[in-house]
Amino acid sequence: MLGSYRAELLKLRKRSAVWVLFGAGLVLSLIFGYLLPYLGYTTGDDNPGTDGVPRAQVLEGMLPSHVLDNTIGGYPIFAGALALVLGAIVIGGEYTWGTLKTILTQRPGRASVLTAQFLALGTMIVVWVLGIFVASALCSIGIAAAEDGSMSWPGPLDLLRGLAGGWLVLMMWCLAGAVLAVAFRNVALPIGLGVVWILGIETLLAGVVSSLLPDLDVVTNALPGTNAGSLVFAVTGITAADAPPGVRDAVSGGRALLTLLVYCALFAGLAAWTTRRRDIT
């Protein structure tokens, strides 16, 4: 298993698409978490971008005390979509390149190979989360130093809880991409379907249900995106008014955590079951 894990890490480490996705997530986090708010802050209250939001509050949102908000606030939607793409290209690529037959005719069994792939993906997502956190932390330190802001940080346990929650959200979407790739033995279709689901369908469903069919919120509250947003809401200090798209308190943090774990187990289990039973042609 250790050998398979090392092999999977080698594949991920040397694949430029993995780092392009990470770079996209990092840049988007910094643009929406720091660059645009800072531009709004420095250009004053007359700027439409900060209309109605006091400058002090804008600055407060960029200081180290809010580093978790800016690190994982975008995970339920856009970083989640990137994680789904990661899962789809890594697992789907084995089918489109035909490399699955090459690795399955080595020593390890199918379950071992898939487990190693999921562990490596989990490791890469740790790198993503920590990378975005470090970049966000550096930005917040820089802004605090430049604007004479507070240097107080969230407690270590809060940080750990927040980063772990962010990791779980991305891992869930990554496994969703992986199971779609296994189902379709492809890369493009899983990415298309998954991204449309994350960016469009879940939001649409939530809007329709809340406005027209409120009794059906039990369904939308069980969806992966809703629970991802609720977990991020629970582990950060974001208020409902400041919450980025997809982050809301639809369900409690505990329930969201449990639901995401169930989704992870479900996606991984489905992928393993299908891979074990399937003819590799």
Partner 1 sequence: MNETAAPLVEVTGLTKRYGDTLAVDGVDLTVLPGEVYGFLGPNGAGKTTTLRILTGLIAPTSGSVRVLGGSPGQADVLGRTGSMIESPAFYPYLSGLDNLRLLAEYAEVPRERIDEVLDLVDLADRAKDRFSTYSLGMKQRLGVAAALLKDPELVILDEPTNGLDPAGMRDMRRLIRELGSEGRTVLLSSHLLGEVQQICDRVGIINSGRMVAEHNVEDLRGEQELVVRAAPRETAQSVLTEFLGAGTVHLYDDTLRVKVAPDRAAEVNRVLVEAGIAVSELHSTERALEDIFFELTTSEERADVG
We find the least distance from the C-beta atom of residue 12 to partner 1, in angstroms, to be: 11
Q: Does 23 bind partner 1 (CB under 8 A)?
A: no
Task: By CB under 8 A, name the one of 148, 152, 156, 281 that touches partner 1.
Answer: 281
Q: Does 210 bind partner 1 (CB under 8 A)?
A: no
Q: Does 46 bind partner 1 (CB under 8 A)?
A: no
174-206: buried (b, 16+ CB within 10 Å) or exposed (e) per residue?
A: bbbbbbbbbebbbbeebbebbbebbbeebbebb
| Cα end-to-end distance, the chain, whole Å | 24
Q: Per-residue x/- mask for partner 1, residues 240 to 279, rule CB under 8 A?
A: ---------------------------------------x
Q: Does 106 bind partner 1 (CB under 8 A)?
A: yes
Number of residues that bind partner 1 (CB under 8 A): 25
Task: By CB under 8 A, name the one of 101, 160, 237, 273 that touches partner 1.
Answer: 101
Stretch that binds partner 1, among 13-21, 28-36, 168-176, 184-192 (CB under 8 A): 13-21
Q: Does 102 bind partner 1 (CB under 8 A)?
A: yes
d(CA 130, CA 70): 13
Largest Cα–Cα separation, the chain:
66
Q: Does 11 bind partner 1 (CB under 8 A)?
A: yes
For residues 220 and 250, the answer to whether their CB atoms sit within 8 Å is yes
- Write 250-253 long-range contacts (CB < 8 A, 24+): 250/206, 250/217, 250/220, 250/221, 250/226, 251/221, 251/226, 251/227
Task: By CB under 8 A, name the one of 39, 56, 201, 280 that touches partner 1.
Answer: 280
For residues 174 and 86, the answer to whether their CB atoms sit within 8 Å is yes
Which residues bind to partner 1, rule: CB under 8 A? Answer: 3-4, 6-7, 10-11, 14-16, 97-99, 101-109, 113, 279-281
